[in-house]
């Protein structure tokens, strides 16, 4: 079977060579036909210059044909060669071989068929083997001849020779140009023309919404006259800018534009102007988150990136864009690329300093489009501002008043007063002054106010204002530095006495002016009485007098105010107070009030002097004269009392100074050092100053109308001088032991002299008080006698007429009573010069009584009986009122002399009230008995009190004094228990006392006294029912806390006479409006 297998292998080799021959043939034919078809297609494009659509069709037909040829001639043989597809089998191959080799004929086919027979025998196999041996000698592969393909090469040579010829001749472009156009089958190509359009623009790209100008020129044998451009179905002429050069401008491009150029029936290819989408910033909004402390509402701004904002503001930018992929936020030192979020961009930053920034947009085709520059100006939180005004108290020249206007751009925080001892920074202290947190405020402050300062030290102080800056921390502004010296008690007292001395001298001059003006007023009064009408000169004289009186009154008020301030100032530092000083201050207050009333009268008189008639003018002048007389007396008394007070204060000061000097001398004797001599000389000099001041004090005392007995011992002074001189001489000699002895002696003697001065002053005050009590008691007795005599004379005039023979005698009696009253007046006025309890009311009563006595004499002398008796009645009433007031003063003086006067025997309240009731019963019994005796002496038609002898008047006065003392006991009881019912009874007692002097032993007065007894008994029953037996209740301290800081502020505000500004809350305004508001408030304050 080996030969048969050899046959099979030879058949396979034949089949493989068969298909290789087919492949070679296909390649030759593919190249031949393909190249010819390729050249044919290029020829068609070359001559026809097809449109892109036709060229596309031709291109794809060419590709299809070439693919078919490739498949038929090359791919199919390859597939069969590599058995990817079925080809000829062994039997078909044997037929081809049998046809080529005659000797083979059908032998090879028969072998193959026999081999397929299923019933094979050995004979058959032997026959196959035999025939196989025969055929093995035949070369099957020679049946295929490669040379047969040469005949096809001529078809391939023609296109190759044609292409090679074009290449050699340089006309290869005849193939290359149509090949290029065919390859770019979608591109428009121009057919050769007599001219062609050339677009000069570098690129056909334009930005959206912009204008784009294309520049065109023509090249060729001719130049077209009116070239056109066509796009969007419209045709437009190009604008010629030079021969052969043209232009056209596209307006507001929105999308890509396809256009052609044409002229003389020649069209250019179609061009495309590409419209680029620009990254557009449509708008943006800035949101401002202001710092909380400025109190400004958050807001926003649109359409602008330039803004002024407070420092520390957090700004958020919201950008609205179109066709934007990236937004660049560029500052001086950074570039922030923002990515889009929902077609928008957002960026936040807190700004603390000036910021210049740029915003630009970008996308994939345009970068940094429309870069916009903006700037943010920072409104710095300014330092708070403070404007301080200072005024010095014109009365004490020490207290300083301050008014400050405070402002800040956003709000105030706190205000401190910082003070320290000069050159001692470690002593610095602070006190907060309450202010509002608004942007504007003001304050008033009085320095030193209630600050605890060390006497004898100089303090520097300033105001320190803090704002509410929460970004940089609270900033502060300091005012100018002021100074203040805290005077020692000695300096204060010295200053006070100096001011009092100046005020006394001024008041003394005013008193002289009053006396001189009194003469002028009397002259005016005389002229008014002598003339029916005042002429021009007289009225001018009256006006000038009134004007001088007003000026004089104003000066007196100023002097009085200064004197009063000298009593009040620094009283707390000196810890000094006295009833005498209080009384003087009250008197000065009342004096100022009277001066104001006088000024009002002068104003009225000045206004109506030319309008009223003679009688009214006379009344006004009389009233003015009476007031001037009263004022002259009051001022003279005030001046004398003030001088006395000044002498007493100066004496006490000198006694204290001497006591301190003795202590220093004693210390120097104990501690000797190298400076002992100098210190000893200084003590000697100060003692000499003490003696000089004592000399001056004696002069001041001698100026008094009733000089006091100064406790001065010149012998002791000479002894002290001698000891001081000896001590100084011994120190100069270096004999310290003897010097020490002399120093101790001098110190001891000065100590004793100081004590004597103080003791003598107190003893003299007591003796003077007792003398004044006795004098006042005598004056009061004389006044009561005068009152009854005047009342009796009044009744006599009521019973007669002017023709009565006794009229003249009674008139003489009235004149005698006037003289008697003048004695009372002089005595009381003399007492008033040394006793401040004799008040202006008493002086006024004296003036009124004297005026009414003179009026009664004048009218009675002119036979004006009704008017004269009316004046007498005024005298009686005035005398009774005066007696009542003097009795009150006498009681108070007696209480001063004996503090236990008026107190009950025991401490039990109930027992005291029972004593009062018992005493009232005794008074009522005495009054009733005296009334019955008086009633028996009365004649029908006479009033009570008429015909009373001097004994009866003394009895009545004794009853009056007992009743008055009883009221004082009740008054003390009421002070302890605070009973309203007790106070009502006290008032009833006062009324009863007055009626006693007015109506004497009248039955109506008896009823009043009995009613008092009944009221007292009811009061006792009420006290028992309320459970007040043997109990005392502690009094509740109702004194309210005195806010001294507030008082100081109020005092300073009054001194500046300013009105408190509005509560200026910080308004949510922009800075320009804040400045306008601030300017407005400053203008209104000014």
Residue 854 CA to residue 28 CA, distance in Å, equals 176
Element (H, E) at 330: strand 326-331
| Residue 102, number of CB atoms within 10 A of its CB | 7
> Could you tell me the pLDDT band of residue 460, with boundaries at 50, 70 and 90?
very high
Answer whether residue 1 shows pLDDT above 60: no
Q: Which of 261-270, 330-339, 528-537, 735-744 has the lowest mean pLDDT?
A: 528-537
Answer whether residue 1068 shows pLDDT above 60: no
Burial tier of 78 (Cβ tally within 10 Å: 0-12, 13-18, 19+) = middle
Residue 114 CA to residue 821 CA, distance in Å, equals 198
Q: Residue 287's pLDDT is what?
A: 94
Q: Residue 378's pLDDT is what?
A: 92
Higher pLDDT, residue 911 or 587: 587
Mean pLDDT of 88-109: 73
Q: Residue 235's pLDDT is what?
A: 92
**pLDDT single digits (tens) 664-722:** 888 888 876 667 788 888 888 888 888 888 888 888 888 888 788 888 888 888 888 88
Mean pLDDT of 868-895: 88
Q: Give φ, ψ of 300 to 5 degrees.
A: -145, 170
Q: Which of 334-348, 918-932, 968-982 has the lowest mean pLDDT?
A: 968-982
Q: Residue 196's pLDDT is what?
A: 84
Q: Which of 49-63, 522-536, 771-785 has the lowest mean pLDDT?
A: 522-536
**pLDDT single digits (tens) 20-65:** 888 888 888 888 888 888 888 888 887 877 888 888 888 898 889 8
> Could you tell me the pLDDT band of residue 816, with boundaries at 50, 70 and 90?
very high
Residues 6+ apart with CB under 8 A from 950: 785
Mean pLDDT of 843-870: 88
Most confident of 339-343, 458-462, 624-628: 458-462
Q: Residue 708's pLDDT is what?
A: 81
The percentage of the chain sitting over the pLDDT mark of 90, rounded to a whole number, equals 13
Question: Which CATH code is given to the segment(s) 190-276?
Answer: 2.60.40.10
Most confident of 115-124, 166-175, 314-323, 510-519: 314-323
Mean pLDDT of 114-129: 62
Q: Residue 963's pLDDT is what?
A: 81
Residues 6+ apart with CB under 8 A from 403: 388, 389, 391, 442, 443, 444, 1052, 1053, 1056, 1058
Residue 224 CA to residue 264 CA, distance in Å, equals 7
Specify the CATH number for 280-379; select among 2.60.40, 1.10.1760, 3.30.530, 2.30.30. Answer: 2.60.40
Q: Residue 570's pLDDT is what?
A: 44
Answer whether residue 206 shows pLDDT above 60: yes
Answer whether residue 652 shows pLDDT above 90: no
Q: Residue 575's pLDDT is what?
A: 44
Higher pLDDT, residue 1041 or 546: 546
Higher pLDDT, residue 1000 or 337: 337
Answer whether residue 609 shows pLDDT above 60: no
Answer whether residue 947 shows pLDDT above 60: no
Q: Residue 587's pLDDT is what?
A: 66
> Could you tell me the pLDDT band of residue 1038, with boundaries at 50, 70 and 90?
very low
Q: Which residues of 479-517 are buried (b: 16+ CB within 10 A; e: fewer)?
A: beebebebbebebbbebbeebbbebbebbbebbeebeeb
Residues 6+ apart with CB under 8 A from 1076: none
For residue 587, the cross-strand partners are none
Domain 393-486+1051-1085 fold is Immunoglobulin-like (2.60.40)
Render 23-70 in DSSP notation, one character per residue.
Answer: HHHHHHHHHHHHHHHHHHHHHHHHHH---HHHHHHHHHHHHHHHHHHH
Would you call 283 helix, strand, or coil by DSSP? strand
Q: Residue 900's pLDDT is what?
A: 41
| Residue 174, number of CB atoms within 10 A of its CB | 15
Would you call 163 helix, strand, or coil by DSSP? helix
**pLDDT single digits (tens) 286-308:** 999 999 888 889 999 988 889 99
Answer whether residue 1064 shows pLDDT above 50: no
> Could you tell me the pLDDT band of residue 313, with boundaries at 50, 70 and 90?
very high
Distance spanning both ends of the chain, measured CA to CA: 143
Q: Residue 1008's pLDDT is what?
A: 82
Q: Residue 1076's pLDDT is what?
A: 53
Answer whether residue 325 shows pLDDT above 90: no
Q: Residue 620's pLDDT is what?
A: 65
Q: Which DSSP category does 292 fall into? A: G
> Could you tell me the pLDDT band of residue 377, with boundaries at 50, 70 and 90?
very high
Residue 767 CA to residue 901 CA, distance in Å, equals 18
Up-side HSE of residue 571: CA atoms within 13 Å toward CB? Answer: 12
Mean pLDDT of 77-90: 79
Query: What are the CB-based long-range contacts (under 8 Å, 24+) for 63-72?
Result: 65/37, 66/34, 66/37, 66/38, 69/29, 69/30, 69/33, 69/34, 69/37, 70/30, 70/34, 72/26
Average pLDDT, the chain: 78
Asked if domains 190-276 and 393-486+1051-1085 share a fold, the reply is yes
Q: Residue 919's pLDDT is what?
A: 83
Higher pLDDT, residue 641 or 388: 388
**pLDDT single digits (tens) 784-807:** 999 999 999 999 988 888 888 888
Residue 50 CA to residue 185 CA, distance in Å, equals 9
Answer whether residue 637 shows pLDDT above 60: yes
> Could you tell me the pLDDT band of residue 350, with boundaries at 50, 70 and 90?
very high
Q: Residue 127's pLDDT is what?
A: 60
Mean pLDDT of 235-243: 91
The ranges assigned to domains in the chain are: 2-169, 190-276, 280-379, 393-486+1051-1085, 903-937+944-1029
Answer whether residue 572 shows pLDDT above 70: no
| Residue 1084, number of CB atoms within 10 A of its CB | 10
């Amino acid at each position: 079977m080996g030969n048969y297998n050899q046959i099979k292998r030879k058949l396979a080799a034949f089949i493989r060579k068969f298909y290789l021959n087919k492949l070679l043939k296909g390649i030759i034919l593919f190249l031949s036909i393909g190249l010819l078809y390729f050249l044919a297609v290029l020829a068609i494009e070359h001559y026809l210059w097809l449109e892109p659509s036709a060229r596309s069709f031709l291109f794809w037909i060419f590709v299809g044909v070439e693919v078919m040829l490739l498949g038929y001639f090359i791919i199919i043989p390859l597939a069969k060669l590599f058995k990817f597809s079925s080809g000829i089998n062994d039997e078909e191959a044997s037929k081809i071989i049998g046809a080529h080799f005659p000797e083979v004929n059908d032998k090879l086919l028969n072998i193959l068929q026999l081999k397929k027979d299923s019933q094979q025998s050995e004979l058959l196999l032997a026959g196959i083997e035999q025939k196989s041996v025969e055929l093995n000698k035949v070369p099957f592969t020679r049946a295929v001849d490669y040379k047969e393909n040469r005949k096809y090469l001529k078809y391939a040579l023609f296109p190759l020779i044609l292409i090679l010829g074009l290449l050699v001749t340089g006309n290869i472009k005849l193939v290359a140009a149509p090949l290029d156009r065919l390859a770019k089958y979608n591109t428009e190509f121009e057919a050769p023309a007599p001219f062609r359009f050339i677009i000069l623009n570098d690129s056909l790209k334009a930005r959206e919404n912009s204008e784009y100008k294309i520049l065109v020129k023509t090249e060729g044998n001719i130049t077209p006259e009116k070239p056109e451009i066509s796009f969007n179905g419209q045709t437009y002429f190009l604008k010629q800018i030079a021969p052969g050069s043209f232009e056209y401008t596209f307006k507001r491009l929105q999308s890509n534009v396809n256009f052609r150029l044409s002229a003389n029936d020649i069209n250019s290819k179609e061009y495309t102007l590409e419209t680029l989408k620009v990254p557009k910033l449509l708008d943006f909004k800035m949101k401002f988150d202001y710092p909380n402390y400025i109190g400004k509402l958050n807001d926003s701004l649109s359409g602008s990136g330039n803004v002024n904002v407070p420092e520390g503001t957090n700004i958020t930018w919201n950008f609205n864009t179109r066709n934007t992929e990236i937004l660049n936020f560029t500052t001086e030192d950074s570039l922030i690329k923002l990515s889009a979020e929902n077609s928008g961009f957002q960026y936040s930053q807190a700004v603390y300093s000036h910021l210049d920034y740029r915003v630009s947009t970008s996308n994939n085709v345009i970068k940094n489009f429309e870069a916009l520059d903006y700037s943010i100006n920072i409104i710095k939180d300014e330092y708070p501002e403070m404007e301080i005004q200072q005024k010095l108290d014109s009365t004490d020249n020490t207290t300083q008043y301050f008014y400050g206007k405070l402002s800040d751009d956003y709000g105030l925080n706190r205000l401190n007063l910082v003070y320290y001892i000069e050159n001692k920074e470690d002593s610095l202290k602070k006190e907060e002054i309450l202010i509002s947190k608004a942007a504007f405020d003001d304050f008033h402050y009085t320095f030193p106010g209630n600050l605890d300062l060390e006497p004898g030290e100089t303090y520097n102080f300033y105001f320190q204002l803090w704002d509410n800056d929460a970004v940089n921390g609270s900033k502060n502004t300091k005012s100018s530095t002021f100074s203040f010296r805290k005077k020692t008690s000695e300096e204060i007292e010295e200053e006070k006495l100096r001011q009092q001395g100046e005020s006394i001298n001024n008041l003394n001059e005013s008193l002289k002016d009053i006396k001189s003006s009194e003469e002028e007023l009397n002259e005016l009064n005389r002229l008014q009485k002598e003339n029916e009408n005042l002429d021009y000169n007289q009225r001018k004289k009256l006006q000038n007098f009134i004007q001088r009186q007003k000026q004089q009154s104003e000066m007196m008020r100023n002097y009085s105010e200064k004197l009063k301030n000298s009593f009040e100032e620094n009283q707390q530092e000196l810890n000094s107070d006295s009833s005498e000083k209080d009384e003087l201050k009250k008197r000065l207050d009342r004096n100022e009030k009277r001066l104001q009333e006088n000024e009002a009268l002068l104003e009225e008189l000045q206004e109506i002097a030319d309008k009223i008639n003679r009688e009214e003018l006379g009344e006004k002048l009389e009233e003015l004269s009476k007031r001037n007389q009263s004022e002259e007396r009051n001022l003279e008394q005030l001046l004398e009392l003030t001088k006395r007070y000044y002498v007493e204060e100066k004496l006490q000061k000198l006694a204290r100074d001497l006591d301190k000097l003795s202590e220093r001398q004693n210390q120097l004797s104990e501690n000797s050092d190298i400076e002992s001599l100098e210190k000893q000389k200084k003590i000697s000099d100060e003692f000499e100053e003490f003696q000089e001041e004592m000399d001056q004090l004696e002069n001041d005392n001698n100026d008094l109308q009733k000089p006091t007995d100064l406790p001065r011992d010149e012998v002791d002074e000479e002894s002290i001088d001698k000891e001081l001189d000896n001590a100084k001489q011994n120190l100069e000699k270096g004999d310290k032991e003897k010097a020490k002895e002399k120093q101790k002696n001098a110190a001891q003697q000065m100590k004793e002299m100081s004590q004597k001065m103080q003791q003598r002053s107190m003893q003299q005050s007591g003796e003077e008080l007792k003398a004044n009590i006795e004098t006042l008691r005598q004056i009061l007795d004389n006044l009561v006698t005068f009152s009854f005599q005047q009342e009796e004379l009044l009744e006599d005039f009521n019973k007669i007429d002017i023709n009565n023979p006794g009229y003249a005698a009674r008139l003489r009696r009235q004149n005698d009573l006037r003289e008697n009253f003048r004695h009372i007046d002089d005595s009381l006025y003399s007492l008033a010069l040394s006793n401040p309890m004799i008040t202006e009311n008493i002086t006024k009563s004296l003036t009124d009584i004297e005026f009414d006595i003179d009026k009664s004499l004048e009218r009675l002398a002119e036979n004006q009986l009704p008017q004269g008796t009316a004046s007498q009645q005024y005298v009686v009433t005035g005398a009774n009122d005066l007696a009542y007031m003097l009795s009150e003063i006498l009681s108070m003086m007696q209480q001063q002399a004996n503090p236990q006067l008026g107190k009950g025997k025991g401490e039990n309240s109930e027992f005291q009230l029972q004593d009062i009731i018992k005493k009232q019963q005794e008074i009522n019994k005495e009054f009733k008995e005296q009334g019955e005796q008086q009633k028996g002496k009365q004649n029908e038609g006479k009033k009570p009190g008429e015909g009373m002898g001097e004994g009866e008047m003394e009895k009545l006065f004794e009853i009056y004094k007992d009743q008055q003392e009883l009221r004082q006991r009740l008054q003390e009881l009421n002070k302890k228990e605070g009973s309203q019912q007790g106070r009502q009874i006290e008032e009833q007692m006062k009324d009863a006392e007055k009626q006693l002097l007015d109506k004497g032993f009248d039955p109506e007065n008896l009823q009043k006294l009995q009613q008092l007894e009944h009221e007292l008994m009811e009061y006792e029953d009420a006290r028992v029912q309320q459970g007040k037996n043997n109990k005392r209740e502690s009094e509740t301290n109702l004194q309210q806390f005195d806010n001294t800081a507030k008082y100081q502020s109020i005092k300073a505000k009054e001194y500046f006479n300013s009105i408190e500004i509005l509560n200026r809350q910080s308004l949510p305004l922009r800075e320009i409006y804040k400045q306008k508001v601030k300017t407005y408030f400053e203008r209104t304050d000014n």
